Amino acid sequence: MTKQQLTTQRLILRPWRDSDAAALYEYAKNPNIGPAAGWPAHQSVEESLDVIRNVFNGPEDYAITLAEDPDTAIGAISLKLAGGSDLFPANDTTQAEMGFWIGEPFWGNGYVPEAACELLRHGFEDLDLAATWCAYYEGNVKSARAQQKIGFEPVHVIPDTPVPLLHETRTTHANRMMRARWQELQAC
């Protein structure tokens, strides 16, 4: 089954391609991006290609691109379905966890909330989800602010969360959007 493309007024969310490796490296090498989200800055285009092939290969992993330049990835957004998240039971097919990041040159333009709102619509309408989770590590103010702007509500705080790619533990703030809240927000 071919993964679909999702569109907004300014963005296209599309499957990752091997040809995205250079653009991914350009933004993921920035130490202001990955470490805040729990992964080390990329060290090479080859590493970025490996991430595309082995990490960004899930059924709901998307490259964020500008509608005017759909061949250039500027960030990533995904829904981790049953078995892909520690925030809900592994066998629960009615929930998902959203993750996202965007290249620093694109910060402050509202692209993350725009992409997230479309992915929420897709999750609730097309995948029939009942809830979508989103989390951030203590100190990641930009992610916290984005999640609040989108409409996610705090559920709990998880101390001493393992962050295996950085060999450390952090405090995680887990937020959730229920389908009813999404409908109440007029699809954010």
Per-residue pLDDT tens over the stretch 87-115: 888 888 999 999 999 999 999 999 999 99
Taking alpha carbons only, the member of 128, 126, 114 closest to residue 188 is: 114
Taking alpha carbons only, the member of 79, 95, 83 closest to residue 155 is: 95
Domain residue limits, the chain: 6-133
Helix boundaries (H) for 14-100: 21-28, 34-37, 45-54
Dist. CA 188–CA 185, nearest whole Å: 5
CATH 3.40.630.30 holds for 6-133: yes
Dist. CA 176–CA 97, nearest whole Å: 9
**pLDDT per residue as tens digits for the range 117-138:** 999 999 999 999 999 999 999 9
Taking alpha carbons only, the member of 120, 110, 184 closest to residue 149 is: 110
Q: Identify the three-state secondary structure at position 106.
A: helix
Q: Among 3-7, 9-13, 74-78, whose mean pLDDT is lowest?
A: 3-7
pLDDT at 1: 44
For residue 165, name the pLDDT band (cuts at 50, 70, 90): very high
